[in-house]
Amino acid sequence: MIITTTIEKSLLARIPTGLFIGGAWRPAADGGTFEVHDPSTGEVLLAIADATPADGAAALDAAAAAQRGWAKTAPRVRAEILRRAFELLTTRADDFALLMTLEMGKPIAEARGEVAYGAEFLRWFSEETARVSGRFSTSPDGNSRLLVTKRPVGPCLFITPWNFPLAMATRKIAPAIAAGCTMVLKPAALTPLTALFFAQLLQEAGLPEGVLNVVQTTRAGAVTAPLIKDPRLRKLSFTGSTEVGRRLIADAADQVLRVSMELGGNAPFLVFDDADVDKAVDGAMIAKMRNGGEACTAANRILVHESVADEFTARLVERMRAHTVARGTEPESKIGPLVDEATRAKVHELVTASVEAGATLALGGRAVDGAGYFYEPTVLTNVPAHARIMHEEVFGPVAPITTFTTESDAIRLANDTEFGLVAYAYTRDLNRTLRLAEELEVGMLGINTGIVSNPAAPFGGVKQSGLGREGGLEGIEEYLETRYVGIADPFADA
Ligand SMILES: NC(=O)c1ccc[n+]([C@@H]2O[C@H](COP(=O)([O-])OP(=O)(O)OC[C@H]3O[C@@H](n4cnc5c(N)ncnc54)[C@H](O)[C@@H]3O)[C@@H](O)[C@H]2O)c1
């Protein structure tokens, strides 16, 4: 078993362990705490405050109290706070990366990638802050003037998942700051340390008290449900599973709360007969193995034209076999542990069910013995369309491959899912690319690339993958209301 090193211990000693409410760190109302573990060893990293419903209410009190003043803050002031936060985060990239590796398990190189990606939302929305504008026009009959303005939505509740502990928070926090909204953040209980460390950084960047409040808790529903019913809350933004998202949308109906939902995915990855197979394998490795397969954008249904399937599969197996499984802090680590035993058990269950349904196990397929929740990189071939893995999100390093004959078959298979987050396609045919862009039921499409996430682009899904977009020009709109002011003809009395 790897014992936490001195460098790791000194980093952990700098992480705040309280709740962040109204600009101050405090214990839970009942003094309760919970432990955060290293998924690669099972060791306890830290014990931190466990928010109660009373703490949740206090956090919303603080957000509601700060809202009016924050909305009136000059855009330039909000922009500069975001810019300072971007610079601080970039300077402290190594600390944030190590912390994420410790609490979530991803290899340090991937954690650094997430810091860069997460930081870009701060820079992008600092640039967007001063660009919010409205319009002024004369009504068609000439009898009035129409003034359209944008106002901050108001206090928001953010609920984030464990797989990208930093970026899923900055993707919500940055546009909310830019728009002038206050917020309560409830990070995932498996990975709350990054959010606490980031809240401390925002405080240092000059964020006024009450604008961001953080209530980590092991009682998610008990803490957040009363906030969702509270008329002072104006917006709920959630990233997580479709199952929980569906329930939250129902809860949000009582207050007709605005919702943004970034939910599950089950991305198809299409390789056509005219694809550059080497590049397709590179892209598949990124789309499948980024974050150890624990990503909503993960390529979970690899659909390959029958004429290139053998070549593609042989190369993918070779690359997957070479992927070193080790604690994320080890330099050779290409894949860390899964986040917990429940996730590992679910991955294994889907692999076993695929083989029972007729798939062939070409590589892996077993949990790694010893401490931590490691799972072997796995490739399944000839996966039948009815296998569970083709319809349920496998949150792990498992690449299921199946073949197709015609383009229309490929599109039908790709769309045969309740999810619609992202698809990837490898082809050199421009007209086919345009057909795919029109026919695939997704919010995002990667052409000859295994990665689409980009802070300057609108991220989000259709069907049961969610509602709303994060990033891009669209991202800030989620935090703005449109207000129209009708003005009588200024010449009427002239
Ligand atoms: N579309 C996207 O942008 C995106 C990005 C990352 C992850 N995801 C999805 O997230 C899922 C993995 O994350 P997860 O396992 O943390 O998801 P999850 O739905 O179990 O949990 C997400 C968050 O919701 C909280 N939560 C759970 N039950 C709740 C309840 N009843 N009331 C309020 N909050 C509750 C959790 O504590 C956590 O903070 C996957 O389905 C993945 O596809 C989507």
Find out whether the beta carbon of 189 lies less than 6 Å from any atom of ligand 1: yes
- CB of 325 within 8 A of CB of 377? yes
Mutating to test ligand 1, I would choose from 296, 300, 470 the residue with most ligand atoms within 8 A of its C-beta, which is 296
Find out whether the beta carbon of 167 lies less than 6 Å from any atom of ligand 1: no
Q: Quick one: average pLDDT of 466-486?
A: 98
pLDDT score recorded for residue 1 = 44
Shortest-distance Cα residue to atom 33 of ligand 1: 221
Relative to the CA of 186, which ligand 1 atom is closest? 39
pLDDT digits (tens, 9 = 90+) for 265-282: 999 999 999 999 999 999
Find out whether the beta carbon of 300 lies less than 6 Å from any atom of ligand 1: no
pLDDT score recorded for residue 340 = 97
Q: What's the CATH number of domain 6-263+468-481, 1.10.357.20, 3.40.605.10, 3.40.1350.10, 3.90.1300.10?
A: 3.40.605.10
pLDDT digits (tens, 9 = 90+) for 382-435: 999 999 999 999 999 999 999 999 999 999 999 999 999 999 999 999 999 999
Whether 349 is catalytic is: no
Q: Quick one: average pLDDT of 438-451?
A: 98
Residues 101, 481: Cα–Cα separation, whole Å = 38
Relative to the CA of 221, which ligand 1 atom is closest? 32
Find out whether the beta carbon of 458 lies less than 6 Å from any atom of ligand 1: no
- Cα 418 to ligand 1 centroid, rounded to whole Å: 17
Find out whether the beta carbon of 462 lies less than 6 Å from any atom of ligand 1: no
Would you kindly state where each structural domain of the chain is located, as residue ranges?
6-263+468-481, 267-455
- CB of 376 within 8 A of CB of 396? no
Q: How far is CA 337 from CA 12, 309, 396, in A?
A: 20, 29, 9
Q: Quick one: average pLDDT of 5-34?
A: 97
* DSSP SS3 for 144: strand
2 pLDDT band, cuts 50/70/90, is: low
Q: Quick one: average pLDDT of 465-482?
A: 98
* DSSP SS3 for 190: coil
Q: What's the CATH number of domain 267-455, 3.40.50.300, 3.40.1010.10, 2.60.40.10, 3.40.309.10?
A: 3.40.309.10
- Cα 238 to ligand 1 centroid, rounded to whole Å: 7
Which residue of the set 114, 262, 294, 392 is catalytic? 262
Residue 408 parent element (H or E): helix 407-415
Does pLDDT of 41 surpass 50? Answer: yes
pLDDT score recorded for residue 141 = 96
494 pLDDT band, cuts 50/70/90, is: confident
Q: Quick one: average pLDDT of 185-189?
A: 99
pLDDT digits (tens, 9 = 90+) for 52-97: 999 999 999 999 999 999 999 999 999 999 999 999 999 999 999 9
Residues 449, 150: Cα–Cα separation, whole Å = 36
Does pLDDT of 224 surpass 50? Answer: yes
pLDDT score recorded for residue 482 = 98
Q: Quick one: average pLDDT of 13-25?
A: 98
4 pLDDT band, cuts 50/70/90, is: confident
Among 298, 227, 284, smallest CA distance to 465 is for: 298
Kindly report the backbone phi and psi dihedral angles of residue 31, in degrees, each rounded to the nearest multiple of 5, phi listed first: 75, 5
Q: Quick one: average pLDDT of 474-490?
A: 98
CA atoms within 13 A on the CB side of 411: 13
Find out whether the beta carbon of 304 lies less than 6 Å from any atom of ligand 1: no
Find out whether the beta carbon of 421 lies less than 6 Å from any atom of ligand 1: yes
Q: Quick one: average pLDDT of 438-462?
A: 98
Residues in CB range of 150: below 8 A, 6 or more apart? 132, 133, 134, 179, 480, 481, 482, 483
- Cα 157 to ligand 1 centroid, rounded to whole Å: 14
3 pLDDT band, cuts 50/70/90, is: low
Sign of CA dihedral 352, 356, 357, 363: positive
Q: In whole numbers, what is the pLDDT of the chain averaged over residues?
A: 97
pLDDT score recorded for residue 275 = 98
What percent of the chain clears pLDDT 70, i.e. is strictly above it?
A: 99
Amino acid letter, residue 338: L
